[in-house]
Amino acid sequence: MSWLGGLTGQDVPTYVTPKDEAKVQDPAIKDRMVSAKSANQPFLRHQEYRAQQEALHNAWLEKKRVHDEKIARGEPAGRLERDPTEPIDVGVWGLIKFFLGLAVSIALLGKFVTGSYTWEYETRWLQLKRMVPMDGRLFSEQALSQFNGENGKATYIAIDGDIYDVSKGKAYQPGGSYHFMAGIDAARAFGTGCFQTHRTHDLRGLSNKEWEGVQHWKGFFKNHKDYVKVGRVLHPPIDPASPVPVHCDASKQEQADIESAQRDRYLAQQHAAEAKKWKKVEEEREEL
């Protein structure tokens, strides 16, 4: 590069404009010609733009002068148009309209390209059903059994009393691998894995691991993006004297019995402590 020579003390050659180089009138200085080379084009275009804006503004000023004179004479002047060179103030409302229009455009494009307004992005918060409380309906066991995905009915499953619409889950549809769970509260099977013999809501006698398994599946259905809670099922009370369902895996039965008994004792102690606390509160109230 020629300019590097100046760093070493050498003379930098002076640039000489070629005679055949195209020139144009300098828009900023009268009677001055400048090169039309590409490096000057942005400057020339900007000067042309400024000249156009100035001409438009002067024309508007003339219209404004005529308009004001008519008003001063009491003549009908009509509405004065806006200065075309005045910057547009977008404002908050303008930004809102812009982003709203952008969101609608993106949604429509997604519908055209993927068939989904959300570009096939799914989350449980985008479902309208989750915005409307629908979990207050009570079902009898007989009513729940009718929602097994057959005869045009929706597919419901229940776990520990909570009923979920799982119609979007293919595994729960007729012919699916878990269709036997439809229309029933099989909470125990979710913990033990005994899907044939433990299709019941009876949670007595579970091991700690099995109990945690039931809690895991309750959270799974509660937070699933496709499954919506629709109500609760009313079960008849379980007779405490009735036998606890036998585990399908005999090797796990003894461990389940031990841990279940320990958990029952712990819960009984908690209930007793709670009852004692409330009894003390009632006695203090009576003394007052």
**pLDDT reported for residue 10:** 65
Tokens representing 83?
């200065």
**pLDDT reported for residue 47:** 80
Determine the Cα–Cα distance for residues 270 and 287; give it in Å rounded to an integer.
Answer: 26
Q: For residue range 83-95, list pLDDT tens digits in order.
A: 888 877 767 887 8
**142 pLDDT above the threshold of 90:** yes
Which of 63-72, 112-121, 187-196, 207-216 is predicted least confidently? 112-121
State how far the alpha carbon of 272 is from the alpha carbons of 146, 193, 277, in Å. Answer: 41, 33, 9
Residues 6 or more apart from 199 whose CB is under 8 A from it?
A: 180, 181, 184, 186, 188, 189
Which of 125-139, 215-229, 268-282 is predicted least confidently? 125-139
pTM: 0.52
Q: What are phi and psi of 41, to 5 degrees?
A: -60, -45
Per-residue confidence band for 81, with pLDDT thresholds at 50, 70 and 90: confident
Q: For residue range 179-238, list pLDDT tens digits in order.
A: 999 999 999 999 999 998 999 999 998 999 999 999 999 999 999 988 999 999 999 999
**134 pLDDT above the threshold of 60:** no
